[in-house]
Amino acid sequence: MKKIIISVMVVVITGIGLWVWYNHTHLLVESTDPKDGNTKVDTLHPISITFNHYISPAAARNFTISPAVQGNISVNGTTFTFTPTTAYQLNSEYTATLKQPVSMGGLQRGDITLHFKVSYLSYSDLSKKQQQAHLDRTDSIQRQYPILQSLPYETLNYKIDYALDSNNKITLLISLYGIYNRPSQAASYQHQLIVDQQQALTYLASKGVKPTTYRIIYNPPISSPQTNQGD
């Protein structure tokens, strides 16, 4: 029994030693934000790559993003960050590449490539960190758009949320909860969507909102003159 315990301890210690050695002699990626393949990236989301070693400032010269986006690059300890100063295009796919990064100690590794897609994100879709950044950004415009203090708002029939673009313009996102189980319900389903839509618009009106002041996106889209209200 004693020999078994000693053997297990040797294996564990050897494994830890190998991991420490590998971590010390290789430049590894610990995390990326966004993750490769993310399809829900905000229009001004920074790109960050964190390593297990301090990164050489030379990495700042070896970053590309396609389609091209203007932004600022920083290298802070183990983290490389690209912060866009112009918004990504909605519903567009981007490829960001950090070419052959090098650590301060001279460790090298191959290219790191991230693919992501930009889409409208409602406040409730954001991470807690993104929500805090969003709140910091919207403090001033909440005075301009008091309705934001009441959103998101949800009933059994609909939900009203919002998205804020890089120009501080508001888009209202209205989800309608009509039930559709079979083709014979198509007409009543469309009617229920319109009723739910009117209820949502009535709620907005009760908060002093004129729907034509904002762009409104309905989910699902409905065939009604109300769906084309102006920006």
Give tens-digit pLDDT for 68-127: 998 899 999 999 999 888 778 888 999 999 999 999 989 999 999 999 999 876 667 777
Is it the case that residue 16 has pLDDT exceeding 70?
no
The residue from 86, 118, 150 where one domain ends is 118
Q: In the prediction, which pLDDT does 226 show?
A: 40
Residue whose structure tokens are 């209820």: 199
Is it the case that residue 228 has pLDDT exceeding 80?
no
Q: Do the domain assignments include residue 53?
A: yes
- Residues 112 and 131 occupy one common structural domain: no
- Residues 224 and 133 occupy one common structural domain: yes
Is it the case that residue 223 has pLDDT exceeding 90?
no
- Residues 133 and 189 occupy one common structural domain: yes
Residue whose structure tokens are 């992501």: 116
- Residues 81 and 129 occupy one common structural domain: no
Do residues 161 and 173 lie in contact, with contact meaning Cβ atoms separated by under 8 Å?
Answer: yes
What percentage of residues in the chain have a pLDDT greater than 70? 81
Whether the pTM exceeds 0.75: the reply is: no
Sort strands 79-84 and 71-76 into parallel, antiparallel or unpaired.
antiparallel
Range of the domain at 51: 26-118
Which contiguous run of DSSP H or E holds residue 136? helix 128-144
* Rounded distance between C-alpha atoms, residue 142 and residue 154, angstroms: 20
Q: In the prediction, which pLDDT does 225 show?
A: 40
Q: Do the domain assignments include residue 188?
A: yes
- Among candidate residues 174, 185, 157, the one with its CA nearest the CA of residue 215: 174
Q: Do the domain assignments include residue 167?
A: yes
Give tens-digit pLDDT for 113-136: 999 999 876 667 777 777 777 677
